[in-house]
Amino acid sequence: MNYNLVKDILSLLESFENSNSSQQYSANVEGFSQWIIDTKSQTNTSDLDWEGKVKGRSIESVISTLLVHMSKYAKSYSKSAIHESEFSTQEEFIYLITLNSFGSMRKTELIKRNKMDKPAGIQIINRLIKSGWIEQVDSKKDKRSKILALTEVGKNYLTYKMDDIRKASKIVTADLSDKEKIDLVRILSKMDKFHQKIYDKNLSTEQLLKEAFDSYTIANNPNQ
């Protein structure tokens, strides 16, 4: 038996347990494996360069800016995908895709899934109802409440435009390899999980930044 290998594995397990006090990773083989991947793939920021670094610009600022840029690029492709269609905004087809993928749901759930303010979300829903693409029906679970359902007209029109919509989605991933796409999904999913917990609290504008930053501080200083 290679005892040195066993010692190395035990040492890694000890480091994993010590650094995972906040339970960021699940306490099983999958969590341990992911921790190893994340730990070994970390890049020293001194090896990277970015605009404004010499003047003190942080890597977090760069990431935030790049995410904003990506959002704008994606939006421009989406606008092109629905050019000369009956869709007024990209949010309209996103709402239809949500209903098509996850099934009928209440207005508040549909709005929340798409991270929108309620007034703006209601306006989109009203336009979709007026267009005949979605309808309000009685809930099978609670006859007193209404849920939104995709109509056949809405499903057919969505299908008709899906080819262009898929093209817009593919373009956003640029020239990433399959492995890079998987890595990106893993990283963005981790970020999304963090922010979703804060989003679900429905905090006021005054409370939001403090609450989010407190959560950020705890997540990045688990041993304090």
Of 105, 108, 104, 106, residue with least CA distance to 116: 108
> In Å, how far are 45, 113, 212 from 118, measured between CA atoms?
40, 11, 21
Residue 142's Cβ-count burial label (10 Å; 0-12, 13-18, 19+) is exposed
Helix, strand, or coil (residue 148) = strand
Q: How many CA atoms lie within 13 A of 38 on its CB side?
A: 15
- Give pTM, 2 decimals: 0.73
For the CA atoms of the chain, what is the radius of gyration?
Answer: 23
Instruction: Give the domain ranges of the chain.
Output: 87-164, 174-224
CA 156 to chain centre: 27
CATH architecture of 87-164: Orthogonal Bundle (1.10)
pLDDT at 92: 96
Per-residue pLDDT at 3: 66
- pLDDT score for 157: 96
Residue segments in the chain with a per-residue pLDDT below the cut of 70: 1-3, 22, 40-47, 222-224
In whole angstroms, what is the distance from residue 108 CA to residue 113 CA?
9
